[in-house]
Amino acid sequence: MLRFFLKIVKNYKRRHAGLRPAAVLLLLGLCGGAGAAGESVVAASHPLAAQAGMAVLKAGGNAVDAAAAVQFALNVVEPQSSGIGGGAFLLIHLAKTGENVVVDARETAPAAATADQFSAHAFRENSESGLSVGVPGTLAGFAEAQRRWGRQTLAAVLKPAIALARDGFAVTPYLAKSLTSPRAALQPETRALYRNEAGNPLRQGFWLRQPELAHTFELIAAQGPDVFYRGEVARAIVQAQRRSAMGPDGIGRMTLADLAGYRPEMRTPLTGRYRGATLVTMPPPSSGGVALLQALALLERFPLGHAPGYGPDETLGTHVTIEALRIAMADRARWLGDPAATSVPLDRLLSPERLAAVSRAIDPEKRLPAPPELSAPEGRNTTHFSVVDAEGNVVTCTSTVEAAWGSGILVPGYGFLLNNELTDFNRVPRAGPGDPGANDVRPGMRPRSSMAPTLVFQGRRWWLAYGSPGGPTIISSVLETTEELLDDGLSGDAAVRLPRYAVLDGAGHTLVERSMPQPLLDALRARGHLLQETDRPIGSVQVVGEDPVTHERWGAADPRRDGTVLRY
C-alpha cells in the first residue's frame, strides 16, 4: 500500500511493469541488504540487542541461542517493551527437519483469578496494580527452546545482557522519549533508576547502569530458571505484585505455587496460502495469526498489486484491506481466546467457503454497515526481532510486558519490570447467550494476544520471517507488510518504511500515521471510514529473508525504533 511514497520503487516498477509480483521480488533480490549464501542475519529494534545475538552466533550458537541473547539484551536496553517479567511467542523453523514449531511463553492468570476482578475499576487503575500481573513466561519459554534446539548454555547467552546491565549503555532517543511516561516513575525503584537527581527523566546519551538486573541475570546463569520460578526471585515477584494503585482491590493474586507451576506450551502453528506462497503463523491464544489468515483470504480476489492482473488503485486497495481487517477484528473480539479455556472454532473461522462468501459481501465502493465489536484496550509497547543462522534455522519472536513499562512495578533488588498482561482479558465478563466469553479471565489461562510472528515459504523452502509489536495494531502491520512483500514485490527496506494504518476493532476505528497522503485519507473518509491521525508510530517490523533463487540472506529493520540489521 501507498507505494507512491517511494519514488525509487515507482521508477523500478515502471521499468519492470511486465513482471508478476513474485518475479519482481526475485529481481529486486529482496534488497533488505543482500549478503553471501549461508549468512546469519539478525534484525532487532536496538543495535546492542542485535550485537548480542550476533556475538552468540559468532561463538557457535544457532538461531535459537541468538534469539535468547537478543531477548535478554532487550530487557536491558528496551525495558519498557519486554523482558523476563513478561511473556513471548516464538515461531521457529528448523532447517534440518523442515519442522515449524511455536513456543507459547504467554503469561498466565493466577489460580485465584476471577472473571470479574477488573470490572469495578477503570483500566488505568487496574493496569498499574499488581492485580494485572500475569505469571511471567519469557524466561521459561526461551530456556525451554534452548534446551530442545539450542547449542549453547543459558549462562552463555546471558553474558551479553549481564555485561550491558552491569557496564551500562547510552540512552537512545527512543528510550529517552519513552522515559517521559509517568508509568516509568510510578514506584520508588523506577524513580531511582530512571530519573536524575532533580527528578527528571533521563535524557538521550545518559549512561544507564542496572546492577540489580545484572545480579538477577547472574543468578539465572548460575542456578537456571528455578531461581526465578521457585527461589529468591520468585519470592520477590510475589511480594512486589502486592502493590496496588487502587487499594486492597488491586493487590496481585499470584502465589509461589503459580510461579512454580508455570510451563510454556509447544503448539502447532497455523498455515495458510496467499498469492501462491505458504504462510505459517501464530495459533491461539494469539488472535494475530487467525486474523492475518482471515484477512488475506478475504483479500485474495481483489486487485492489490502493480503487476499485470493487479490494479494500482491505492484507494481501492486500502479500502478493502480496512474492510477485511474489520471483519477479522469482529471475529477476534467474540471467538478468540485461550483454547485451554474456551472452544475456539478455528474450522469455522478459517473455512474457505465462509471466507469466500464474506469476501463477496465486501463492497469495493463503500464501507460495510457491520455492527461494532469493540475490544478491550491492549498495550502497544511490545517488541519484535527475527534471526536466521548459517544453517537456515529461523526464529521470529514477539515479546512484551504489555503496556509501556508494564505495570510500572520494578521488582525491588532485582531490577526488572512486571507485566500488566492480565488487562488483555475482558475487563467485564462477556459470557452469556450467544457469546462464549472466550477472553474472560479464568484461573491459569492465557489472555488473548495479537502477536503474529510469521514465516513465508516458497514451496517447501523458507523465504521470509517477520512480525511487529503494537498490541491490536500488530495485525494490521503484519498484514500490510505481507501485502507489500507478496503483492507489490517491494524490498524489505522499502516495505518497513511505508506509512501505516491500523484497524482497531470491528467497528472500523482506524489509526493512520500522519505521513499518509491527504488525498488518500479524503477518499477513504468519502467511503465512510473512521480514521484518526496519530503522531505515534504504528508497529516496528523486523524482517529477515532469503532470495529463493540465489539463496542470499538479507534483513530489514524498521526505522520507527532503533532498528538494526547485522550479518555474519
Closest alpha carbon to 279 in 460, 454, 459, 93:
454
Establish whether 382 is a catalytic residue: yes
**Which residues are CB-neighbours of 429 under 8 A, at least 6 positions away?**
115, 116, 119, 437, 440, 441
Short-list 368, 291, 290, CA closest to 323: 368
Which one is catalytic: 318, 382, 383, 423?
382
> Within 13 Å, how many C-alpha atoms sit on residue 474's CB side?
34
For residue 405, give the DSSP letter. Answer: T
Rounded to a whole number of angstroms, the CA Rg of the chain reads: 22
Strand partners, 281: 270
What's the CA gap between 393 and 399, in Å, rounded? 19
Cα-based distances in Å from 230 to 108, 235, 257, 258, 383? 16, 8, 8, 10, 27
Q: What gap in Å lies between CA 428 and CA 563, rounded to an integer?
A: 37
Number of other residues whose CB lies within 10 A of the CB of residue 521: 18
Distance from C-alpha of 330 to C-alpha of 371, rounded to nearest angstrom: 9
- What cell does 266 get? 509447544
Strand, helix or coil for residue 74: helix
The CA distance from 168 to 162, in Å, is: 10
Please give the grid coordinates belonging to residue 272: 495458510
Pure H helices in 78-178: 123-127, 138-149, 154-167, 173-178
Bond before 312 cis per omega within 30 degrees? no
* Interior angle at CA 218, CA 212 and CA 223, nearest 5: 130
> Measuring CA to CA, which residue among 203, 199, 245, 238 is closest to residue 414?
238
For 390, the grid coordinates are 548459517
Candidates 541, 438, 433, 526; CA nearest to 482 is: 541
CB-based contacts of 99, cutoff 8 Å, min separation 6: 93
> Which set of grid coordinates corresponds to residue 33?
541488504
What's the number of CA atoms in the CB half-sphere (13 Å) around residue 111? 8
d(CA 26, CA 95): 22
Assess contact for 451 and 288: CB atoms under 8 A: yes
Q: Which residues are catalytic?
A: 382
